[in-house]
A and B are shown apart, each in its own frame.
Chain A
Amino acid sequence: MNTAQTAPYDSPSVPAPDQGLRSPRRAQAQAFVSGGLTAAIGAVGLVLGLSAIFAQPRQLVISWLLPLVGVRFEFGPLGGFFVAATGAVSIAVGIYAIGYAQREHWARFPLFILPLFVAAMLLVPAAGSVTSFLLAWELMAAASLALVLSEHHRAAVRSAGAFYAVMTQLGFAAILLALVVLSAAGGGDSFATIAAHAGGISSGTRTAVFLLTVMGFGSKAGLLPLHAWLPRAHPEAPSPVSALMSAAMVNMGIYGIIRIDLQILGPGPHWWGLTLMIFGAVSAVFGVLQASVATDLKRLLAYSTTENMGLVTLALGTASMLSSYGAPQVAAMAMTAALLLILSHASFKTLAFLAAGSVLAATGLRDLDKLGGLARRMPATTTMFGIAALGASGLPLGAGFVGEWLLLQSLIHSPHANNTLLALAMPLSVGAVALTTGLGIAAMVKAFGVGFLARPRSAAAEAAREAPASMLTGMGLAAVACTVFAVAPILVGPALKHVLTALPTVGGQAAGPALGAYLRLPGIAGSMSPGLIALSLLVAVLLVLALARWGARHRPAAVSAPVWACGADSINAKMQYTATSFAEPLQRVFDNILQPETDVEVTHFAESQYLVEKVTFRTQMADPVEQRLYTPVVRAVTTWSQWVRRAHPGSVHLYLAYGAIGLLIVLVVVR
């Protein structure tokens, strides 16, 4: 099993071999068309999604597109929500991709696939039957694989692509099995038919479908333990593709869980919610822990996606548990929190990946240990990444704060009278969410502080220049979305209310939290106003700045001076803290979980054993789930298949005999 991560000195932007004889003008025009088309498709998706949320549910059947079953689309609030979110992300990414593809000299094939990928992603939540869903799902997976392999001339990309392909197909196998079983038990192909007959499905079938969908959709969403493709594929994909995958495609996994397990299969037993909560909490804590010690910027963001999807799943599990214990109002709170977390994650993750792409295009570096000093050289990108990092950290004035606040409120208001399970699960969940937030703050401070502030740690970082206008526009759109979620979530309030009504089994019939200028929680003394907090903070900061003018008349003129270097003439950029050193205390605390491999090699001078010429220090942090879980499984499968090979010696007579025996068995069984 190839456990090597991106080698620390492997520059991601190794120039591609010649793309064929395209003139630069032609290439620019193609990039413009591709990006513009992507943005246009995204806009269409946004409009369709919004109309699906607010209008009556509609169906659209195209019977001639597929033999026997046809293609069925369903435009309801839940699907519309995810279509709108995907569409919005695609608009920003499409505009960004115009400039990015031009700068990075994309080949024709990725340019061609990009709009197709977005279109496939928009089809998944709109699908109204099992076959249409599976078809759209595979289209999306294939398109994303093609885009991940855009830079296939690099070895790391090829290995990441292979890993991603295998895990996607394994996930698809689980989903296929689950949906086929569901369709057979539900007596039809369309989701509407299955939902109508859902009451009659036996509990054994429901359990099987639930477990398979959690595995399959959970893998797509990046939940543990089937998450390992995320931190491999997302960094190696081109940045607009990473943004689409992290901010839109992983939502499809969550959509699958909500659709199948929470909406169609209806109210589930208590352990369903508990399972989702456990998976969510473990994914969140593990993901953010890995993010806090990651030194590759895009790998950090990829693990942060695992963390956020874990939080969303935790919220879903809470909603399911609470509504199965008869607390629909609090369940509605948790469900609103889940939806809001999905939206805010989409906005800040898009912005973060687009900003990381801008840095990659300008410097050729993803390694935080070599970046730095970008605030002076790329001020707009730095500001954008700052907004995204604030959102990802879950602090007030960040995009992720309101969602997390709602989640915490739903956890602390759960009914606990005479219920040991809830009395244990809720505090532990609060602890998990809190640890996630704390470590998330550390990870984002590291990414922003080490990567963008202070002085450049390498020549490439020093030579950085700002991104072109189209990339800045794309980032700006995502930044606007982040700001909306940070200070005015009222704008999405009506949409969330409509989506909740489509989810009666998780508290949809109860009144959800009122997302006005103040967020008010029904029946509970609890309210929050992010806009007012922002305004009051501004006033407070201005007051403090005015206070600092006291005594200004006695002050000598302000000057600028070199940094205090403890008496030395100057410090150089190598004396700054790197991302590795910044995260070292955390790594020490969580040493047992992370299990880094450290290698120290001391070279002495030939003349004397007492003089050290060189010390080489290497530390590698592989994913422990990959090492502990996947490697033994792969080894077992390899051993088993080696054993099976013994039955294939190459003799045609033997193979004919196998065929005959197999036929005999089939005849006996079918009779």
Chain B
Amino acid sequence: MTWIGKIARVGRIVETAEAAPASTITPPTGVSGSLQLRHVDCGSCNGCELEISGAFSSVYDAERFGARVVASPRHADGLITTGVVTRNMRQPLLNTLKSVPEPRVVIAVGDCAINGGAFTSGYGVIGPVTDVIPVDVQVPGCPPTPAQIIAALRTVTGR
């Protein structure tokens, strides 16, 4: 029961939301405020993953803008990809994208996904995500902060 006291004392820990950024694309189905994403790590160092998990944590709470991470690409509106595409992950990335029902978006998070970042010349690397699948939203940074990630998500959800 000390938990109840702790909950009461700590209260709200989420940061206040900023003003909504301008939408760059319309929400995939026209319904704003609902975006489910399937995360694909194509070959990242996990730095962007930590920032994404920070974005969905209690402090930044991306869920209040309608974004959610789901387990199955069939349930998703799109992919949120991190990392540079390695040889072994190229086909799985394509298979995952094919499994997402239309209409769908692709969000590339981090410099590696956009232009190869620090790993462009690796021998196991094919290229950035933008070379393999069409990307709708890019979030530059190495790694991007949770606030930047959320701002990018909000341009898609429209909320």
Contacts and interface: CB of A to CB of B under 8 A. Distances in A.
Asked if chains A and B are in direct contact (CB within 8 A), the reply is: yes
Interface of A: 554, 556, 561, 564-565, 567-569
Contacts of A556: 101-103
Interface string B43-75: 000000000000000000000000000001110
Contacts of A569: 91, 95
Nearest to B100: A564
A561 B102 CA distance: 13
Given A556-B102, A556-B103, A567 B29 contact: no
A152 B54 CA distance: 70
Nearest to A567: B92
A568 B95 CA distance: 7
Contacts of B72: 564
Given A567-B92, A568-B92, A569-B95, 9 more contacts: A554-B29, A556-B103, A561-B98, A564-B72, A564-B99, A567-B91, A567-B93, A567-B96, A568-B95
12 contacts: A554-B30, A556-B102, A564-B73, A564-B74, A564-B99, A565-B95, A567-B92, A567-B95, A567-B96, A568-B92, A568-B95, A569-B91
Interface string B79-95: 00000000000011101
Interface of B: 29-30, 72-74, 91-93, 95-96, 98-99, 101-103
A311 B30 CA distance: 56
B57 to A, nearest CB: 26
B132 to A, nearest CB: 14
Contacts of A565: 95
A390 B95 CA distance: 37
B99 A561 contact: yes
The 9 closest A-B pairs by CB, nearest first: A567-B92, A556-B102, A564-B99, A567-B95, A567-B96, A564-B74, A564-B72, A564-B73, A554-B30
Contacts of B73: 564
A565 B94 CA distance: 12
Contacts of A554: 29-30
A568 B93 CA distance: 10
Nearest to B73: A564
A567 B72 CA distance: 11
Nearest to A564: B99
Nearest to A551: B29
A491 to B, nearest CB: 45
A72 B73 CA distance: 73
A569 B74 CA distance: 16
A556 B30 CA distance: 13
Interface centre among A556, A561, A567, A569 (most CB of B within 10 A): A567
A245 B92 CA distance: 54
Contacts of B91: 567, 569
B93 to A, nearest CB: 8
Contacts of B29: 554
B149 to A, nearest CB: 23
A561 B91 CA distance: 16
A565 B103 CA distance: 21
A422 to B, nearest CB: 44
Contacts of B102: 556
B104 to A, nearest CB: 10
Contacts of B101: 556
Contacts of B92: 567-568
B92 to A, nearest CB: 3
B41 to A, nearest CB: 11
Contacts of B74: 564
Interface centre among A556, A564, A565 (most CB of B within 10 A): A564
Nearest to A558: B101
Contacts of B93: 567
A317 to B, nearest CB: 50
Contacts of B103: 556
Contacts of A567: 91-93, 95-96
A569 B103 CA distance: 22
A569 B98 CA distance: 11
A554 B101 CA distance: 13
B83 to A, nearest CB: 14
A118 B62 CA distance: 72
Interface centre among B72, B74, B95, B101 (most CB of A within 10 A): B95
Nearest to B99: A564
A301 B158 CA distance: 57
A347 B27 CA distance: 55
A554 B26 CA distance: 14
A250 B29 CA distance: 60
A567 B79 CA distance: 13
A561 to B, nearest CB: 7
A497 B1 CA distance: 61
A78 to B, nearest CB: 58
A606 B101 CA distance: 50
A569 B102 CA distance: 20
A567 B100 CA distance: 12
A648 to B, nearest CB: 75
A565 B96 CA distance: 9
A569 B94 CA distance: 10
A292 B99 CA distance: 35
Contacts of A568: 92, 95
A645 B35 CA distance: 85
A635 B96 CA distance: 62
A32 to B, nearest CB: 52
A576 to B, nearest CB: 18
A242 B99 CA distance: 46
A561 B96 CA distance: 12
A252 B93 CA distance: 63
A409 B126 CA distance: 69
Contacts of B96: 567
A431 to B, nearest CB: 35
Contacts of A564: 72-74, 99
A670 B98 CA distance: 95
A564 B100 CA distance: 10
A558 to B, nearest CB: 9
Nearest to B29: A554
A461 B91 CA distance: 31
A66 B113 CA distance: 95
A564 B73 CA distance: 8
A564 B99 CA distance: 7
A353 to B, nearest CB: 38
A448 B128 CA distance: 47
Contacts of A561: 98-99
B42 to A, nearest CB: 11
A131 to B, nearest CB: 70
A548 to B, nearest CB: 15
Nearest to B96: A567
B45 to A, nearest CB: 20
Nearest to A570: B95
Nearest to B103: A556
A556 B103 CA distance: 8
A556 B92 CA distance: 24
A6 B76 CA distance: 47
Nearest to B40: A567
A460 to B, nearest CB: 31
